[in-house]
Structure 1
Amino acid sequence: MNFRAILFILISAGALALLFIVLKPTPQPSIVQGISAENDAANTESLPANKPIAIELIIESGVLTSGPKRIQLSQGSEIIITVTSDQRDELHLHGYDHTLQLIPGEPAKLLFTASHSGRFGLELHHAHGELAVLEVSPRP
């Protein structure tokens, strides 16, 4: 082989290695992501998987007025959901069959480990409305 061919191969290999390093995806931690119709980016929060994830929901007249509409996390994550409502109701987390009695003006807490993956609705029983969804991704 001549000098030009060797030089071309070395430069090409170096360029490919540099592109691989620059474009390689980074692993992402578990996230809690609140999505609202107004502004998706403003409601995104990232937290490491080894810490309990704290979510606060505020409900007025049976409608979620504060807090994420979509909560994303990894299977095995621990989560604490604090709910404050202006009306008496019962919050139900489908798929996990957890319920939370809501008393007007009093924060109620639901602590659990996201043991199985899937998409699960958080629903008010008396108001008959879905407030938010919990999306649990399988362990890698």
Structure 2
Amino acid sequence: MKPGLKNPLMRVTNLLLYLSFCGLIGTGALLNWKLIPGSQGGHGLTVLDMTRHEWGDIHFWLGVVCVGTTLFHLVLNWPWLKKIASSGKAWRLVAGLATGALIIFGIYALPLQHSGNGSSEAHQEELPQGKQHRKGW
């Protein structure tokens, strides 16, 4: 990389990383505390004419931007990571990156489960006779 190009790229990368992180915090707080999920008050609520699901989409894409910017930030700082952060020992760098990857993919690999208070039981009373849901479906 050209010596004069890294500094402006770092500035833009750092700004984008900061703004996307702030956006993640803001949309996460909005989703968690104002646009409450489910029957506890989340139906019909909007902020700036957007529903919980629309804000969830924005939250997701801010996360994608944040992850992409973080990876680009690591690429720009690769020489520093190799020399200083890992003290010149490659195994430290590999261990740190592997730990991060394990956390990400470990969480994603967790099995799905039904909560036990499934919606099929809650909606049984609302359905006409003979149209009952089978338990477990």
With the shorter chain as reference, the TM-score category is under 0.3
TM-score normalised by the chain length of structure 1: 0.24
Determine which structure has the larger strand proportion and give its number: 1
TM-score with structure 2 setting the length: 0.25
By percentage of residues, which structure has more helix?
A: 2
